[in-house]
Amino acid sequence: MIDVIRELFRFLSQDPLSVEDVISRVGPVVNDPGAPMPIELQPVLSGVRAANLDRYPDNGLPYALTIELAPGARVTAAALQQAFGDYERLHTDFGHPPEIIFYPPAVGSRWTVAVIAKLESAAVSLDHQPVTSLSLRRDPVEP
């Protein structure tokens, strides 16, 4: 699974990248209610059971791809750490599972991709928690 995630990370870092490119890579459209609501995709990726694509409201370019991992494909936070470096815990509201964020170095010249992982629970050390879903957020590199 970690290879699929790495591959998506590299794919989303590329420029140019259109919504159509992401759809071709991840899976066909199930529902598109229009931005800022995400496009629901039917993922064809191994280990991914749901996928949503958000677009930048101003130019319609791909903003964030969120994938929900199948129970058998849930990597741990530690596995992501090996792939993307150190993480920081994000603030989450009462009743929500913990989330962590990785800021891997950019692999392209125009876009960086932050990796946001939702974990199963805060019950034990976060490192060992399985990741239930992942959002790959595209940010333009500052001029």
Site membership for another protein, residue 50 (CB under 8 A): no
Sheet holding 111-119, edge to edge: 29-31, 39-41, 48-55, 62-69, 131-140, 111-119, 99-102, 87-90
Kindly report the CA angle at 2 between 101 and 109, in degrees rounded to 5? 60
Site membership for another protein, residue 90 (CB under 8 A): yes
Specify the stretch interacting with another protein by CB under 8 A; choose among 1-9, 15-23, 75-83, 86-94.
86-94
Whole-number Å distance between alpha carbons of 32 and 67? 16
CB 84 within 8 A of CB 97: no
Hey, how many other C-beta atoms are within 10 angstroms of the C-beta on 136? 21
Specify the stretch interacting with another protein by CB under 8 A; choose among 9-17, 20-28, 69-77, 87-95.
87-95
Site membership for another protein, residue 105 (CB under 8 A): no
Site membership for another protein, residue 77 (CB under 8 A): no
Listed in sequence order, the residues at least 6 apart from 85 whose beta carbon sits closer than 8 Å to its beta carbon are 102, 103, 104, 105
**Nearer CB in complex with another protein: 36/46:** 36
Specify the stretch interacting with another protein by CB under 8 A; choose among 4-12, 20-28, 54-62, 79-87.
54-62
* Binding stretches for another protein (CB under 8 A): 31, 33-34, 36-38, 52, 54, 56-57, 63-64, 88-96, 98-99, 101, 103, 112, 114, 116, 122, 135, 137, 139-140, 142
